[in-house]
Amino acid sequence: VVGGKVKKPGKRGRKPAKIDLKAKLERSRQSARECRARKKLRYQYLEELVSSRERAICALREELEMYKQWCMAMDQGKIPSEIKALLTGEEQGKAQQNSSKLAKAAKTEANSSNP
């Protein structure tokens, strides 16, 4: 007996009613639905990110292969026409197009990596 009141052993607070239990279950279901939706969006974002990186890798591999071929040709004493054009300045427009394609690919990858 404390302060004129009889204390009962057990948990404090009010006991949840059936309505509260139903509401709690509904909130739990809603939370689970939202969690699944967030997870789905996250996976979609990651898949898009992976595919954009794979495209960038393919473009870089192609560029690397081109440079390898140029080096092999130069080792044989031949100067590739693209390098001649760059040295003479005749086809700078073509070289700028190639570099702008690479720059666009890099920008696209950079933009897609920022959520």
Provide the domain limits for residue 38: 21-88
Q: How confident is the model at residue 110 (pLDDT cuts 50, 70, 90)?
A: low
Residue 4, domain member (yes or no): no
Residue 5 backbone dihedrals phi, psi, to 5 degrees: -110, 145
Look at residue 85 and tell me whether its pLDDT is greater than 60: yes
From residue 90, alpha-carbon distances to 82, 84, 93, 105, 110 in Å are: 10, 8, 8, 25, 32
Residue 44, domain member (yes or no): yes
Residue 110, domain member (yes or no): no
Residue 16, domain member (yes or no): no
Residue 2 backbone dihedrals phi, psi, to 5 degrees: -130, 120
Residue 10, domain member (yes or no): no
Total domains, the chain: 1
The pLDDT assigned to 41 comes to 98
Residue 108, domain member (yes or no): no
Residue 99, domain member (yes or no): no
Residue 76, domain member (yes or no): yes
The pLDDT assigned to 91 comes to 47
pLDDT tens readout for residues 7-42: 666 667 766 566 688 889 999 999 999 999 999 999
